[in-house]
Structure 1
Amino acid sequence: MTSDKFTKEALSEWMKDNGPDSDIVISSRIRIARNLNSFPFPMLATNDQSKQVLEQVTEALNNEDLHEISEMEPMLLDNLTDLQKKVLVEKHLISPSLANESRNGAVVLSKNESISIMVNEEDHLRIQVLCSGFQIKEAWDLANQLDDLFENRLDYAFDERRGYLTSCPTNVGTGIRASVMIHLPALVMTQQINRILSAITQVGLAVRGLYGEGSEAIGNLFQISNQITLGQTEEEIIENLYSVVRQIIEHERTARRKLLAESHHILKDRIQRSFGILSHAVIMDSKEASQRLSDVRLGIDLGIIDHVSARVLNELMVMTQPGFLQQYAGKKLSPEERDIRRAQLIRERLIAAG
């Protein structure tokens, strides 16, 4: 397997499965931040020190127990083009920080791309596990297993009182971020979303957009994650997120039932209009595409559109991003050219699906 495999396919293998509650929860993710003892954090490390960190992590990969979990492939960021890095960011396999600012940065990916291990990002080691649907507990079990394997071979920076030490103080303690990517169009349409989001932040959770901190929530997609990493056990963090997301799922389902019962024709018209525009538009910017794809996805989940699968929508979520559009075209594109390509790509996929 080469780096081209990870960047040419829009849909990771793990995304092709329909996990639990996948009509609302797109994905579940666990990210664990760890640093090596005796080395400065990446932002302060010299080139030689970051190279030594990379060597130690690479050596730790030679672990039979790790190989039993999955076939893994390391890639140096310096060996990737800027476009390949952008595509990996759009697929959530690496962070923008690793793509743009790392020294001796690398990523280790599993064959199905559900495991991503970033080296020399904001922290020396960031272990990420992705699962389809609402599988946050399953993602944690696998991430915890991977963390234990690395901890047996690496000397982690750990303080008895503070826990695992990290570059950012907000990650100190357990060093874990648990998050779900959730699609909440009905709560947005019924104008309940602000009340729900306000309640979420009051129980120690954060709400962000598609690409995490600082990103806008477009296409009715929200990333919900824990804010607290210190003073709680990993299990408490996971359980808190799980219970809150379970409630949000039920609120979204109730809102969907209400829309179907009280505004059926208006809802159907909105969904069919979005499908028609996506099927025929010649130019489409990313914001409009995200919103109309959200409408169509809701239509699929409610049975209003029955000839297109949710998998096609998952694929288009990635394929319509700037990096993938340019890779698909085989060249750099201007914003207007990207909008034309985006519309063309959506038309082709929807026609093929029908």
Structure 2
Amino acid sequence: MSIEKFMRNAVTGWMASHGEHSDIVMSTRIRLARNLTGYHFPIVFTEKEAMAIDRAVSGVLLDSGQNGYSYLKMSDMPVLERQVFVEKHLISPQLTEPDRHGAVILSEDEMVSVMVNEEDHIRIQCIYPGLQFEEAYKQANLVDDYLEKSLPYAFDEDFGYLTSCPSNTGTGMRASVMMHLPALAITKQIDRIIPAISRLGMVVRGSYGEGSEASGNVFQVSNQTTLGKTEKEILVDLGNITARLIGHERKSREVLLAKSRIVLENRIFRSLGTIVYARLLPSGEAARCLSDVRLGIDLGIIKDIDMSILNELMIFMQPGFLQQFAGTELSEEERDIFRAKLFRERLDVETASSSTEKETEE
């Protein structure tokens, strides 16, 4: 498969677009957890109940005529395809478990996904590029309201929306931003900032959520609890913390440029050279190099490469995508080879595109 065709099939909405502060905020996500009355929660429900919930939720959305929804049942999907969906942040790893009876309903641009029979009966998720809390929340709310018109939600006047995990009870909403914070990592300031954010009731994790590392200096920041606050209050609190993080990151970038420009440029161009010429590229090194190159693009040190390319490569470097691109199962060393090949070919396409645009302008 050519890299151009692979990209067309693989790129999802939030990767290819730009939003506010997209040099630092890669994406914004709103997730709503909901359950239906009359059924046990997923932790103890029967297969018959799971199938009934699946039919009810998919029936409502697929008949809506909105968003060009498509339906995918986990048990019908190859293991590799499920892994790719996790890597694209479209579904959670938990949904792929064989005894989960899970399914996902996806919008045409893949910016809206509704997981069925995950930890809760329904998980509505909207991912937007850059910093777009209001837009992502508005879309999630539209889907939620549409479902609630036809389906009986489990709701308590005192506790709010009832969920499998007590920490989600209340609004049932998790808001999060995925942020690229290389300057704070390079200057070690991130080590003191993360505990401070935690004390404010927020959680900082790696890009794939709980248990994941902040590979490539990409951090996910989200609200910790949903009970006792309105959706608006949660969004305001997280918005304020996000704004402060953006400010700290921008200041750290300015300091690095002012005090260590040559050292910084050397680091950035070495990483670019690795991406362009490497024949073996382990995942850790790839993530570090992508972070450096993205920083170089954001600071104007590297020209003619769009930062959305780095968003794509952060996802494409994952094991599932590499094996999908290769068309076969790969060992760890083979993945390192294909990762380097994919990076080279993707940047070749971008360079060729930039050259054509310049010639056209001239």
TM-score, normalised on structure 2? 0.93
| Distance apart, 1:8 and its partner CA | 7.4
Unpaired runs of 5+ residues, structure 2, are 352-362
SS at match of 2:216: coil
Match of 2:246 in 1: 249
| Distance apart, 1:186 and its partner CA | 0.4
In structure 2, distance between residues paired with 1:314 and 1:204: 28
Are the aligned partners of 1:11 and 1:318 in contact in 2 as well (CA < 8 Å)? no
Match of 2:54 in 1: 54
Q: Does residue 102 of structure 2 align to residue 105 of structure 1?
A: yes
Q: Does residue 340 of structure 2 align to residue 351 of structure 1?
A: no
The superposition leaves residues 231-251 of structure 1 with CA deviations (integer Å, 9 ceiling, x where unpaired) of 111110011001110111011
Q: Does residue 321 of structure 2 align to residue 289 of structure 1?
A: no
| Distance apart, 1:59 and its partner CA | 2.2
Match of 2:41 in 1: 41
Unpaired runs of 5+ residues, structure 1, are none
SS at match of 2:10: coil
In structure 2, distance between residues paired with 1:84 and 1:154: 30
| Distance apart, 1:194 and its partner CA | 1.3
Match of 2:220 in 1: 223
Distance 1:6 1:229, change over 3 A: farther
Are the aligned partners of 1:36 and 1:157 in contact in 2 as well (CA < 8 Å)? yes
In structure 2, distance between residues paired with 1:6 and 1:112: 16
Are the aligned partners of 1:102 and 1:121 in contact in 2 as well (CA < 8 Å)? no
The superposition leaves residues 60-98 of structure 1 with CA deviations (integer Å, 9 ceiling, x where unpaired) of 22554xx34x11111111111000000000000010000
| Distance apart, 1:189 and its partner CA | 0.9
Match of 2:21 in 1: 21
Are the aligned partners of 2:27 and 2:129 in contact in 1 as well (CA < 8 Å)? yes
Match of 1:9 in 2: 9
Are the aligned partners of 1:32 and 1:176 in contact in 2 as well (CA < 8 Å)? yes
Q: How does 1:136-155 map to 2 (within 5 A)?
A: 136-155=133-152
SS at match of 1:152: helix
In structure 2, distance between residues paired with 1:271 and 1:351: 18
Q: Which residue, 212, 216, 219 being the options, matches 2:209?
A: 212
How many pairs does the alignment contain? 347
Are the aligned partners of 1:39 and 1:45 in contact in 2 as well (CA < 8 Å)? yes
In structure 1, distance between residues paired with 2:218 and 2:9: 22
In structure 1, distance between residues paired with 2:334 and 2:58: 41
Q: How large is the Cα RMSD of the aligned pairs?
A: 1.5
In structure 1, distance between residues paired with 2:242 and 2:227: 21
Q: Which residue, 314, 332, 349 being the options, matches 1:335?
A: 332
Q: How does 1:63-212 map to 2 (within 5 A)?
A: 63-64=63-64, 67-68=65-66, 70-212=67-209
Match of 2:357 in 1: none
Are the aligned partners of 2:111 and 2:127 in contact in 1 as well (CA < 8 Å)? yes
Distance 1:292 1:86, change over 3 A: same
Give the counterpart letter for 1:324 in structure 2: F
The superposition leaves residues 83-141 of structure 1 with CA deviations (integer Å, 9 ceiling, x where unpaired) of 00000000000100001245321100001000000000111000000000000121111
| Distance apart, 1:351 and its partner CA | 2.6
In structure 2, distance between residues paired with 1:6 and 1:141: 31
In structure 2, distance between residues paired with 1:195 and 1:59: 48
Give the counterpart letter for 1:167 in structure 2: S
Give the counterpart letter for 1:186 in structure 2: A
In structure 2, distance between residues paired with 1:216 and 1:102: 27
In structure 2, distance between residues paired with 1:6 and 1:201: 39
In structure 1, distance between residues paired with 2:223 and 2:99: 25
Q: Does residue 321 of structure 2 align to residue 324 of structure 1?
A: yes
